[in-house]
């Protein structure tokens, strides 16, 4: 019983940490230099994973991965622009 209680307390602390991180991410004005570095690191990691895995993925996974970065593509055939 004691181990369950201590584990529950540990999970509650972890939850608080995650909630705090989410608040900092949702409200960029509140970010300090370390928060900005952390987000920058996460973005760099995501882009590196994209670059390293894209060629080996099946077509549907490629499509999903691209949609994480590109929300919309507009093609204007008259102007020959994308």
31-74 tens-digit pLDDT: 567 777 888 888 888 888 878 888 888 888 888 888 877 888 88
Identify whether 41 is part of a domain: yes
Please tell me the predicted confidence (pLDDT) of residue 61. 86
Identify whether 27 is part of a domain: yes
Q: For residue 27, what are the domain limits?
A: 2-57
Identify whether 75 is part of a domain: no
Identify whether 34 is part of a domain: yes
pLDDT at 30 > cutoff 60: no
Please tell me the predicted confidence (pLDDT) of residue 81. 87
Instruction: Count how many domains the chain has.
Output: 1
CA dihedral (50, 17, 36, 22) positive or negative: positive
Closest CA to 32 of 20, 44, 43: 20
DSSP string, 3-69: HHHHHHHHHHHHHHHHHHHHHHHH-GGG--HHHHHHHHHHHHHHHHHHHHHGGGS-HHHHHHHHHHH
Instruction: For tokens 């928060």, name the residue.
Output: 35
Identify whether 25 is part of a domain: yes
User: Residues, the chain, total?
Assistant: 82
Identify whether 48 is part of a domain: yes
């Amino acid at each position: 019983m004691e181990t369950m209680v201590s584990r529950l307390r540990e999970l509650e602390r972890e939850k608080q940490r995650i909630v705090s991180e989410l608040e900092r991410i949702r409200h960029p004005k509140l970010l300090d230099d370390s928060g900005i570095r952390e987000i920058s690191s996460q973005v760099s990691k995501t882009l590196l994973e994209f670059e390293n895995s894209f060629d080996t993925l099946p077509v549907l996974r490629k499509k999903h991965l691209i949609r994480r970065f590109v929300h919309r593509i507009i093609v204007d055939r008259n102007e020959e622009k994308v």
